[in-house]
Amino acid sequence: MGGYMLLYRGSLKSCNYHCSYCPFSKHPMSGRELETDQNQWLSFLNGLEKYGTSMGIGALMVVPYGEALIHSWYLEGLAQVSSLSEIDAVGAQTNLSFPVQELLACFQRKGGDVKKLRLWATFHPEMVTVSEFVKKCRALMETGAKLCAGAVGAPENIGLLRQLREELPREIYLWINKMDGLRRRYTQEEEKAFSDIDPYFFRELIPVPADPAKCQGRLLVEGNGKIHTCNISREMGSSRMEWEKAFFPAPLCRNKRCSCFLAYGGRNDFLNKMLFGEYPLFRIPRHPKAVFLDVEGTLLIGKGIPKELSAHGGRRLPLEEKKECPPDILAGLEALYREKTWLLFATTLPYQEAMKRCGRIWHLFRGGIFAGGAHLVLEENEGKKDSKRVYFHFLEGPWHEWLEPLKQKFSFRLFTYKRDGRLYKITLFRPSLRPWNGREAGELFAAVPDTGREKARYLIEGNCMQIVPAKADKAEGVKTICKWLGISVRETFAAGDSKEDEGMVRLCGGEFGGIYAK
């Protein structure tokens, strides 16, 4: 599972609905224009079948200007693509204005795999009743196809959208898109109403700064051959079939922000994968039972070399630039918290230091893995005293005696972390201008007697060399906490950005997976 994602938008610019706010219902296409659109689509499919495997494409989604699935060639083409073994999913944006059984019959007649079908179904209050729309959504879900449902966040439709949420099966996510034509800010009451319907709605209200580095792995291809990173990015090429080479150059983008879900929702970052899986643009939530997240560089973003302590022994140490949890990540965490997902830290920081750094988001988390796995915490009943589960892995041997003679040779300061007098973590701290390297760390560790070294391990984080018990790491911490929760590691998600996170992310790479970004 997993691969690049293609979006396709042909020259189709017409719709069978007649919503007052939409321009596409006012542009009936001629027979010749429809034939052109069909030929463009077939040409695109030929290229996909020819180059898709070598490009590593895993998913295809049709994002038309108008309604595509009322035209048989789109559905037949999606069926054809879904039959390819290397393709994980196919789908389209649609208004569901057609008989569901006819759609599925056509899809299966052409060899389509219904379990790979993903539909992004939009509710249009001017054209269909809530009960009619819900009936079609239920019928699709019962076939094994996956879908999400959604609507534009028009304040006058809040009552209807509440009704839609109540009548839809809970398994179907109902999203709300920000209304661009509102020409005013939503009121607090409106924001709350929409967030009660859609737990991820606040992501629509937070400006996401554009970052081309996070946009590799997805493309939007137009029917005329033009290619873009996403629906709002500048053109990357225009030659027919040039798109089969376009995943590999750096994306081109002149936007200051990603202003819609098709833009920010397709970025290759842990937040999208955490909320919506391997292909987040299908907008189908993954609902992990527990999420394990690294702190430095994942939850907290900033510059500089991490420093574990701001003061120690009365002497002030130099501070790095303050790191913060970006607003879009905070909105995602708050959504998972409202859905009662277990949010858990996974960090090499000691518990107290993690609490200090993560003060703004600490209330959303229920403990986690601290000190590189040497200290585990789980708050089993939120807000209740004496409900905290705690476990330590301890170091064995007189580590202070072993390390003290090495301080001058390797130029470090020694910090120890204990519980009830027993040592569970050591930090060998250097000035920021002299970070540890692998050779020096290995030489120092080799100087420790075998009795201590055999039951310990070390890791390097810039100017900090950390020593913890050999059995302590993030992956083992995930296993222990999952046992406490009574869940499988396959029901979790993990994200991190360092070598120390690799084992944890790999362990959580089952049903819900994880993401490791170097």
Interval 336-353: pLDDT, tens: 999 999 999 999 999 999
Query: With left for phi above 0 and alpha for psi between -120 and 50, is residue 333 left, alpha or beta?
Result: alpha
In this predicted structure, what is the pLDDT of residue 418?
97
* CA separation for the pair 336, 347 (Å, rounded): 20
For residue 318, the domain's CATH number is: 3.40.50.1000
Q: Are 72 and 35 in contact (CB under 8 A)?
A: no
Tokens of 420: 């009830």
Same domain, 260 and 306: no
Same domain, 440 and 426: yes
In this predicted structure, what is the pLDDT of residue 238?
54
How buried is residue 160: exposed, middle or buried, by Cβ count under 10 Å (0-12/13-18/19+)?
middle
Q: How far from 5 is each of 25, 119, 465, CA to CA, in Å?
A: 29, 15, 40
Query: How is the chain split among helix, strand and coil, in percent rounded to 5?
Result: 35, 20, 40
Query: What is the residue range of 265's domain?
Result: 4-141+210-282
In this predicted structure, what is the pLDDT of residue 301?
86
For residue 120, the domain's CATH number is: 3.20.20
Written in H, E and C, the secondary structure of 186-250 is CCHHHHHHHHHHCCCCHHHHCCEECCHHHCCCEEEEECCCCEECCCCCCEEECCCCHHHHCCCCC
Same domain, 238 and 335: no
Q: Are 260 and 460 in contact (CB under 8 A)?
A: no
In this predicted structure, what is the pLDDT of residue 27?
72
Same domain, 409 and 504: no
Q: What is the CA 311 to chain-centroid distance, rounded? A: 35
Looking at the DSSP bridge assignments, the partners of residue 343 are 291
Each residue of 356-377: b (16+ CB within 10 Å) or e? ebbeebeebbbbbbbbbbbbbb
> In total, how many domains does the chain have?
3
Same domain, 125 and 233: yes
Report if residue 272 sits inside a domain.
Answer: yes
Give the global pTM.
0.88
* CA separation for the pair 192, 187 (Å, rounded): 9
* CA separation for the pair 216, 118 (Å, rounded): 22
Nearest to 482 by CA among 471, 474, 492: 492
Q: How far from 68 is each of 13, 31, 132, CA to CA, in Å?
A: 9, 15, 20
* CA separation for the pair 59, 207 (Å, rounded): 27
Q: How far from 295 is each of 251, 424, 487, CA to CA, in Å?
A: 28, 20, 23
Q: What is the CA 103 to chain-centroid distance, rounded? A: 31
Contacts with 346 (C-beta within 8 Å, 6 or more apart), sequence order: 292, 293, 294, 295, 368, 369, 474, 477, 478, 494, 496, 501, 504
Report if residue 196 sits inside a domain.
Answer: no
* CA separation for the pair 417, 350 (Å, rounded): 8
3-class SS of residue 485 = helix
Q: Are 348 and 466 in contact (CB under 8 A)?
A: yes
Q: Are 121 and 177 in contact (CB under 8 A)?
A: no
* CA separation for the pair 38, 238 (Å, rounded): 19
Q: Are 240 and 205 in contact (CB under 8 A)?
A: no
Same domain, 125 and 254: yes
Please state at what angle helix 31-55 crosses helix 72-82, rounded to 10 degrees. 10
Report if residue 105 sits inside a domain.
Answer: yes
Same domain, 295 and 381: yes
Report if residue 425 sits inside a domain.
Answer: yes
Report if residue 176 sits inside a domain.
Answer: no
Same domain, 250 and 344: no
* CA separation for the pair 356, 363 (Å, rounded): 12
Report if residue 240 sits inside a domain.
Answer: yes
Contacts with 82 (C-beta within 8 Å, 6 or more apart), sequence order: 89, 90, 107, 111, 112, 113, 116, 117
* CA separation for the pair 271, 285 (Å, rounded): 12
Same domain, 29 and 104: yes
Report if residue 92 sits inside a domain.
Answer: yes
Tokens of 261: 């879900």
In this predicted structure, what is the pLDDT of residue 235?
72
Query: With left for phi above 0 and alpha for psi between -120 and 50, is residue 404 left, alpha or beta?
Result: alpha
Same domain, 383 and 481: yes
Same domain, 458 and 478: no
Same domain, 8 and 48: yes
Average confidence (pLDDT) per 10 residues, the chain, 518 residues: 85 85 74 94 91 87 94 96 95 94 92 96 95 96 95 96 97 95 92 96 90 86 88 68 55 81 92 93 94 94 47 40 85 93 97 95 97 96 76 97 96 96 97 93 97 96 96 97 96 93 86 49
Report if residue 155 sits inside a domain.
Answer: no
Largest CA distance in the chain: 86
